[in-house]
Structure 1
Amino acid sequence: MSLNDSASRLQLQPLQPDDQLYAPLDKARATQELSKLEIFLRNSAKTPNAFAKCAFVGNRGSGKSTYLFHLEHELEQAGFFTPVHVFLDPSLESDCDYSDLFLLMVNEIADQFQKREHPVDPAELSKVSLWFAEITLDKDSEWKKEIGLTAEAEASARTGIPGIISLKILSKLKSMIVGSETSRKQIRQRLQNYASDLRARMNDFLDHARVILKTAGKPDRLLIVQDNLDRLGPREVAQRLFTTGGDMLIDIRADIIYTAPSALNLAPLDLSRIFPHVFTMPNVKVRLRSGKTHKAGIDGLVALIGRRLSLDLIFESEKVARFLAEKSGGSVRDLIRMLDDAQLQAQVDGKDRVDMASAKAAVRKAATNFTRLLRPGSVYYPILADVHLTKTEFGVPEGEATKKGVADAREFFAELIGNGSVLEYNGDDSWHDVHPAVCEIQQFQDALDKASGPQA
């Protein structure tokens, strides 16, 4: 392997369980949270007529999707569940509702069952798809004509022939939700007006999906993983989804994992009031709360690097790889980005390996990217210095401890977590720290010196 070959192995998409690039990081995270999640799901699978509902939170880029793919595979191989992984469409990251998720879940289940060659029964699929269409679409619209649904075909669809028509209807509705804000709001409002009926239709469809799985000889516990909800922003979008729509999210008859933004698990919102179980994926600990280097964490990240790149052929020494692991703050996404930038810098400089100079250039680039997010610096850096010193949060300035001042402080802290400048560690004893790349910024160092006070 040479530097020219390295870029292709530094992609940011989630890794499938059989991908040779996958590296387990359970020990490196130094938490039992992931083991608790797996045991919770295994126990739930043994409990008839009760469905697991949980939230899974963590910083963006911490490796949640890759871990969930691996967990789904393990549980399916053990005969506990048949998983269906649903990614939130990027168009919904700034505007999402439970009704959107339900429609997209039906579409994804129908599509994945079709691809796995145990399709949903056409009659059952037509029931739910035509209900969605009749509730949400204008009676005088051209949607029937657009999908080729003639009166004769519609009558056939109601008796379950053919299933392709139902799939076309669901595909049409999905395209309207993700492609047009106006259509999305119209569809959403109409579905919300029939919330009880929507829940009943969803549950009937999910009941049938389990029958299909059992008939096909598959585990008949359907595990839906609703991913990328951690990307919801601004914060009020996620609050609306999980609070206003919380009852709907947990009332459907399926085992479900909902990813959620870390910031949503901060006061005043308590996700445990909505979900009976909340699990946290912290970033890999590269340092302990005391500031001492966490060897197990860095070793785990170096092992991850070794799965992607040959340590002997790509790096001047393992010390360079360990430096990048530490400066990533334990964020898998940031580590991959730094590796990519370091190998590119090395090639630009005509080097055949990544040396310390190339690695430091990659860290500087990450720091520069953060400076664009942390403006005005006179506001952000003193707050970040407080977080770094306390490992928890920043205090509300004296005289501003009003209800609005506290709310603004919470919102500000949520923003820092959302943009990755503050990272969460150790799901068993949660604490926070500033991203190491931010610590490289001179304005941060100046604020830290001021906050620390004169040294004896």
Structure 2
Amino acid sequence: VYQKSEWEAVETELKNEAEFGIGLPKGVPLVARLLTRLTGQIKTGDAVKTEIRQRLDSQIEQLIGRLNELLLRAEIEVRKTSKKAVVVIVDNLDRITFKDFGVGRTSHDALFIEHGEQLCALHCHTVYTVPISMMYGLSARTLCSIFPAYHVLPMIKSHEPRAKGGGDSPEGMNRLRGILGHRIEVDSLCEEDAVTHLCRACGGHPRDLMTLVRHSIEDADESQAKPITRAAVERAEARLVAAFSRMIPEPYFEKLVAVYRTNKIKKDADHQAMLFSQSVLEYANGVEPWHDVHPAVQKLDSFTEVLKNERAKLTAES
């Protein structure tokens, strides 16, 4: 990213900062200081991001080559410890900002389709997280051809689809309780009713489950023998509901109600956006997946109003 003269200038500046006690502590390696500086620059604004991206694009093959040299040395060392291979996991790429560049091209396509060859060029096992919405777009088949060993990770089935009567899924609820048990002392911290509500409110989404737990702990009632009460969980849930209320466009609610009623989505841009924002969640039930509206979205006034009107309309027609 840095040219030689720029590297020398940055190196001198970082050393001076360390001498005067500015920035990171003196004992931190220069490479770590450089990465911290680069990360800070990337976060400063779009102009810096664009400049860094342009410089990297012109050097991408060289960068991959150097990375592969590093990975080769790492694999040699790993095999000395009786391990089989190096695995690189690049998480949170499923959360990168969605931008529509026009002419059917998005920021997701730019990374995973246009740069897919480079992503596959590392000489090691690699795991990338991809937005699930891409599996329902026009680029889905191209994506699958670039990454043939793909796996779609559904939500944990906390409930049954409405076509099968709905209600809690005992297996899924137990799985979610197990996840909780690995993170907190459930029996000593949580009321039983609170645990059940946590598992239902997250919709089977482990990340939302942990978010709800964190907020519940913040709102815990320390005067209670088990501080994570149903009331604390409901306050945490209200924060999640509020977050969805700020992100969902009003025209989406009719489509969300349709998903709620049928447990199916359409393969269009709006439903892709719902999957990306996780206002709609995907579940696996045999070969064909099914979908449902996130429980937090179901509590929004706009959603309940449209659902009420839909039910009244169906009743009148019958």
Q: Which residue of 1 aligns with 2:135?
A: 265
TM-score, normalising length: structure 2 = 0.76
Q: Which residue of 2 aligns with 1:204?
A: 69
- Equivalents in 2 of 1:305, 1:347: separation in Å? 19
Matched, 1:454 2:318: no
- Residues 215-265 of structure 1: CA deviation (Å, up to 9, x unaligned): x43536221111111111115222101111011111221111111111122
1:94-133 equivalences in 2 (<5 Å): none
TM-score, normalising length: structure 1 = 0.55
- Equivalents in 1 of 2:53, 2:299: separation in Å? 46
Q: How many residues align?
A: 287
Q: Which residue of 2 aligns with 1:295?
A: 170
Letter in 2 for 1:292: G
Contact 1:346 / 1:352 at 8 angstroms: preserved in 2?
A: no
Q: Which residue of 2 aligns with 1:413?
A: 271
Structure 1 residues 440 and 169, CA, compared in 2 at 3 Å: closer, same or farther? closer
- Equivalents in 2 of 1:180, 1:200: separation in Å? 29
**Candidates 200, 209, 233, aligned match of 1:335:** 209
Letter in 1 for 2:257: A
**Candidates 325, 338, 344, aligned match of 2:199:** 325
Displacement after TM superposition at 1:299 (Å): 1.7
Displacement after TM superposition at 1:440 (Å): 1.9
Structure 1 residues 442 and 272, CA, compared in 2 at 3 Å: closer, same or farther? same
Q: Which residue of 2 aligns with 1:381?
A: 253
Deviates more, 1:355-364 or 1:291-300: 355-364
Contact 2:252 / 2:270 at 8 angstroms: preserved in 1?
A: no
**Candidates 115, 137, 157, aligned match of 2:2:** 137
Letter in 1 for 2:114: T
State the SS of the aligned residue for 1:326: helix
State the SS of the aligned residue for 1:233: coil
Higher relative contact order (CA 8 A, sep 6+): 1
Deviates more, 1:273-282 or 1:177-186: 177-186
**Candidates 424, 432, 440, aligned match of 2:282:** 424
State the SS of the aligned residue for 1:286: coil
Q: What is the Cα-based RMSD across aligned positions, in Å?
A: 3.2
Letter in 1 for 2:271: F
- Equivalents in 1 of 2:197, 2:125: separation in Å? 41
Q: Which residue of 2 aligns with 1:193?
A: 58
Displacement after TM superposition at 1:355 (Å): 4.3
Structure 1 residues 276 and 306, CA, compared in 2 at 3 Å: closer, same or farther? closer
**Identity percentage over the alignment?**
25
Structure 1 residues 346 and 274, CA, compared in 2 at 3 Å: closer, same or farther? same
1:243-322 equivalences in 2 (<5 Å): 243-270=113-140, 271-289=143-161, 290=164, 291-316=166-191, 318-322=192-196
- Residues 344-379 of structure 1: CA deviation (Å, up to 9, x unaligned): 54529x655444444444433432332222243xx1
Displacement after TM superposition at 1:294 (Å): 0.7
Unmatched 5+ stretches in structure 1: 1-135, 150-163, 395-408
Contact 2:155 / 2:282 at 8 angstroms: preserved in 1?
A: yes
Letter in 1 for 2:118: M
Contact 2:137 / 2:272 at 8 angstroms: preserved in 1?
A: no
